[in-house]
Amino acid sequence: MGRTSAAGRRNGVRRARILADLTQAELAAAVDVTRQTIVAVEAGDYAPSVYLALAVCDRLGTTVEALFGRTARESISRTQDKERS
Amino acid sequence: MQSRGTSDWLRGRSMSWVDWVVALSSSQVADERQSAVLGQVSSATLSMMIRLNYTAGLAFMLIDNKRFEPCVWVFWAIALGAQAFTKAATRRQSVDFRTRIKVQSWGGIVFSSIVFGTIFVALERLVPGSRWYGSWRNDALAGAVATVVWAVLLKRRQNQKHKAVLLAEGTMADAADESLDA
């Protein structure tokens, strides 16, 4: 398991981006990465560096803990469980 | 890799030829994920090519050592050179791949080499059309290659065992943390 893998961990980037009314391409341009990297971060396939995470949070107006912390993952898991049931 | 070399230069540190080669050979990538993925893939490719070099060299030596020997020396020189350069370049970045586990005693390595060399020579004599009889230099070379292969295999096995123990300890520690959180 390398640093590029986030081991399928969920995060709140997608939700925060939609709330901020941004497309993946717009967010990618704002933080100076490719759109594929944003896709990978949202899907939990890539763990961003602390600097990229800070840039994403800065652009989305939130904190790293809110997007990538344990509470964010638990919140998303609960929402997905509700949607399934 | 390139930025490290450049920043070293900007901070007044001396850049060795290793840094220059790494800087010249580094691909330009768009972002950190591409850089990370390219690094992983390049590492896997290098490892595969080195193994193929050793295997191909051994195969050619078995087929007709007198005919292919010069080529095989080049194969192995490239493989050893690539490994040496990788270690030198990574050590410049404070990454040391040397194992911390002592895998095998010197006696064990010598014994393994002798066993492999004996089997190798016996097999070589069974190959039809082979002309490799009683060359001590080639036998010693085969033994040396066998030593490296054998040590790598043992080291990997021990590392995997060590990793499994660490993972088990980590899982237990996580469980303890979660119980404390609860």
Task: Say whether pLDDT at B1 is over 50.
Answer: no
A21: left (phi over 0), alpha (psi -120 to 50) or beta: left
A vs B, Cβ pairs < 8 A, gives 28
> What does each C-alpha distance from B15 to B124, B131, B180 come to in angstroms?
47, 49, 50
Residue B173: CB atoms within 10 A of its CB come to 10
Confidence tier at B176 by pLDDT (50, 70, 90): low
- The pLDDT value recorded for residue B113 is 65
CA distance B166 to B153: 20
Q: CA angle, corner B175, sides to A44 and B170, nearest 5?
A: 70
Separation of alpha carbons B61 and B71, rounded Å: 9
Of residues B95 and B139, the one with the higher pLDDT is: B95
Q: Which two tokens stand for residue A4?
A: 């590029």
Residue B82, pLDDT above cutoff 60: yes
Amino acid at B22: V
Give percent above pLDDT 70 in chain A. 73
Provide, as residue numbers in chain B, all residues whose Cβ is less than 8 Å from the Cβ of A33: 30-33
Contact B178, B144 (CB under 8 A): no
Mutation site, B28, B29, B31, B34, interface A, largest A CB count within 10 A? B31
Mutate to test the interface with A, among B3, B29, B32, B180 (most CBs of A within 10 A): B32
Assign B8 to helix, strand or coil.
Answer: helix
Mean pLDDT of B95-109: 59
**Closest alpha carbon within chain A to B33:** A37
Percentage of residues in chain B having pLDDT higher than 70: 54
Give the residue-averaged pLDDT of A6-31: 88
Can you give the pLDDT at residue A41?
92
Q: Which residue has the higher pLDDT, A2 or A38?
A: A38
In this structure, the number of other CB atoms found within 10 A of the CB of residue A48 comes to 27
Mean pLDDT of B89-95: 80
pLDDT at A64: 93
- Torsional class of B97: left (φ above 0), alpha (ψ -120 to 50), beta (otherwise): alpha
pLDDT for residue B4: 47
Minimum-distance CB partner of B40 among A2, A32, A40 = A2
